[in-house]
A and B are shown apart, each in its own frame.
Chain A
């Protein structure tokens, strides 16, 4: 018990002292000290249980090493990322063109917007029974749920982006005689792209949330399945927490990946300078 307490003191001291250090060092020390304190508090809490149910950080680390060693983790990560990729790409492939058209045409907007707004607030989780009915237990259901989860943020974001295109740009386009596909290629699409990328980011985040839920019910592989299986097959909470940590880490990687889209010259104008 004395070591975690000392580490907490160390974390607090580092946090306070780092004020005087260079920014580059602070960028490492600040989040590092917070993580250290949280880990220690977790350890103290877990170790204080009368009947040990919640695992200590050390047990979780051992579980993670074992999962990596026997190859399960890798297999499950690939299964989850695969489902998210397929559902997300399908949603973008359908959602972006749909959003562009519905956002641009007043008639299409009047016709489709109420439907979109009505379906949007329904949690993808609520679709699970329908998904299983339509696609059975398996990848089909999971991909369908990911598709739904990402489709609405993409459509709503794209629609809003198109409707926000500045009147001056639309008039310039008309003035230079742009029509039809040319208008979409030179103006409507590039003008909406920054906001479309933001909606893709949101959609990917939601998709990653939903895949875990879908895998708990509709399939028997993937990180969500790993978590629910570890609990059902013998209360292996070390595996449950290990799975949670991996989900968080992959979520960060996915977000960093998609944020790279925001750095291209064609879209940089659309994001506030910081």
Chain B
């Protein structure tokens, strides 16, 4: 289905299903989802609200267990959260009681002091927050808080980063800037990124491949290879063609 994506397998999801028990009985959220994420790939999980894409990410991240099926990373089964793979949350996961510096240093507690300072400063510089080291989150704008969260994840140099609608709470202009920044950082660090979104344009601007989900119970409708290099021209015919394809898969009309 996506044999044209280069690189070796990083995250392998094999027939994962997830049921939640509710008062009305078991509710199937994910059904037989299988997926192969390549090393260094930027993959978006795209689908309508409630299609199970966040649940899948939480399973891959080790926060929830699948009802059946399994997830392996580098051949090792995921059984719980792991500092080698970091989750960037939908709401703000950074700690409001700690300064920018202390937030970014969270995952570096076991490094010696000098190395820790070096990494923290370098990461803060990378996300463009130089000068705000001593600030507290309540003193920052939404976009800046999200940068802190990205910095906290990058500081531990994880091999996979999970992002669950990280820019959902930002205004549309800040969101565009943050996407460009994320691509810049991804191109310099080459981490594997799994990014959940319900925004067609967002997935198109970011991903190498886009996994399109059907609504509940979540199943993979298709894996779409974007095949455009960065920076992407949002007005190009290729962009429009992939976009129409995504709309078709999601069952959305092209006109308003």
Contact = CB atoms under 8 A, between A and B. Distances in A.
A107 interface: no
B182 interface: no
A193 interface: yes
A273 B93 CA distance: 21
Nearest to A177: B83
A274 to B, nearest CB: 14
Interface stretch (B23-31, B94-102, B185-193, B239-247): B94-102
Contacts of A190: 95, 97-98
A174 B107 CA distance: 10
Interface stretch (B37-45, B84-92, B210-218, B224-232): B84-92
A21 interface: no
Contacts, number: 62
B137 A172 contact: no
Interface string A174-199: 11110000100011001101000000
Nearest to A186: B106
B33 to A, nearest CB: 21
Query: In the complex, which range does the number of interface residues on chain A fall in?
Result: 20 to 34
Interface in A239-263: none
Contacts of A172: 87, 89, 93-95, 106
A187 B81 contact: no
A231 interface: no
A199 to B, nearest CB: 17
A267 B97 contact: yes
Nearest to B92: A168
A171 B136 contact: no
Contact of A191 (B63, B83, B91, B97): B97
A268 B136 contact: yes
Interface string A206-246: 00000000000000000000000000000000000000000
B47 interface: no
Contact of A269 (B106, B138, B156): B138
B66 interface: no
A53 B92 CA distance: 63
A176 B83 contact: yes
B97 A171 contact: no
Interface string B180-203: 000000000000000000000000
A269 B97 contact: yes
Interface of B: 61, 63, 80-83, 86-87, 89-99, 106-107, 109, 136-138, 156
Closest 7 CB pairs of A and B: A269-B96, A190-B97, A172-B93, A176-B107, A177-B83, A174-B81, A168-B93
Given A175-B61, A186-B95, 20 more contacts: A169-B93, A171-B87, A172-B89, A172-B106, A174-B80, A174-B81, A175-B81, A176-B107, A176-B156, A177-B83, A190-B95, A191-B95, A193-B97, A265-B99, A267-B97, A268-B136, A268-B138, A269-B137, A270-B96, A270-B97
